[in-house]
Amino acid sequence: MWNKIIKNEDLVSKVEKKLKEISKSFDTYDESDCSLFLGQSGLVLFMAYHSKHKERLNESEAYVQELFDYFQEPDNLNFSFGIAGILHTLYHLEKEDFFDFEDNISDFDYSIFHEFISNDTSLDFLHGNTGVVFSLLEQNIGSKYDYLFDAWLASIDRIKENDPNFLKWKVDFTLAKDEHPTEGYSFGLAHGVPSIILVLLKLFDRKKDFKLLKYLNKSIDFLLSVRFDASSEFYFPSQLVNNDKTDSNLAWCYGDLGVAMAIFQYAKYFDKRELVEFALEIFTKHSSKRDVHTYTVFDASICHGSAGIAHIYARIYNYTNIELYRETAEYWYGITLEKAEHPDGIAGYKQFHGKDEPLVNEFGLFEGVSGIGLSLISAISNIEPRWDRTLLLS
């Protein structure tokens, strides 16, 4: 059973009030985006879990039908904005008994992903072929589709560097067409090495294979090799470009906490106790980092904001029952409520898209109020938040 986080009754009441506001805000949603990242897939997940929390009928049927309609003419295949994420959402809803779909998802023709997995040289979790492979693993597709996993491993073989000790590959950090191309190594859970480790681990759990084990160990070894020295405030860089290490933060997408969660899951699976202790050392050290300005916590989102930090600590608390982690999660949930400070926001929330960009209203799971709301539910309820598998946290 999931152990809820918030014990302060006044804070619980504030969370309940905020959840009502988030739920009510969906009445104004009029976009056609079905994606997990920004669109209706996130809304459906929030509605399903909120309905379960309030013990009332699920209110998301209309949105679910739109997700099924998207199957007819999908314009994107990836996990964040495409059909891989939508399939993941629908499978999760059925597996957790929120719905019993008449249209059997298992009849879906997964072969449409073969070209994307084979030809996409991006190993990105959110936007590349790794997220698609994760979605297929979560759906436990039949063995007749194992060639899709083989195609993913072949893409790793094509893109990885020739290094006898480490599994590593460079990614393109260029943000604009007129910028000089910038390549380096990414250590964020959203786009880099930690997500590859966790998806390799899920694939290894499906089919015990020596090549997978070798790739797992060599990718962990690479991750550990780029640690900052002991004097640093953080343990791992967010990026490594031309031997320059970029400072990290606390965010789910690019931060020490996501790296620690990847190390923790790997170490628990293979019973590597020293690595488990190392991961917990990271969580413990960062539990004292509570300044939103120093640690660039500019909004409340799951992806790079306070709800993501809170939820990571909530999850590691439920893994370990270490009270410090519950207290840390509770603190960040308090910050998440404080972030609902914008009169023109959605339930008071607006999302940060860059220091020179205006704040934006977002409904989705990763950057919007759906994700914030889902995390808030897990703060005050005993419902297991299995939706956080989407974030590679369980």
What are the residue boundaries of the structural domains of the chain, listed by start?
1-30+291-394
Question: Contact at 8 Å (CB) between 290 and 340?
Answer: no
> Are residues 111 and 76 in contact, defined by beta-carbon separation less than 8 angstroms?
no
Q: Which residue has the higher pLDDT, 355 or 387?
A: 387
- Structure confidence at residue 314 (pLDDT): 99
Summarised one tens digit per residue, pLDDT across range 1-20 is 899 999 999 999 999 999 99
pLDDT in tens, 47-75: 999 999 987 767 777 788 888 888 777 78
pLDDT-derived band at 176, boundaries 50, 70, 90: very low
- Which helix (H) or strand (E) segment is 41 a member of? helix 40-54
- Residue 153, classified by CB atoms within 10 Å of its CB into exposed (0-12), middle (13-18) or buried (19+), is middle
Q: Which of 36-40, 53-57, 87-91 is the least confident region? A: 53-57
pLDDT tens for each residue of 188-203:
999 999 999 999 999 9
What letter would DSSP give residue 183? E
Across 47-61, 173-187, 334-348, least confident range: 173-187
Task: Tell me the C-alpha distance between 78 and 67, whole Å.
Answer: 15
Q: What is the pLDDT of residue 192?
A: 93
Say whether pTM exceeds 0.85: yes
List the one residue out of 392, 36, 394 whose CA is nearest residue 197.
Answer: 392
pLDDT over 90 percentage in the chain: 78
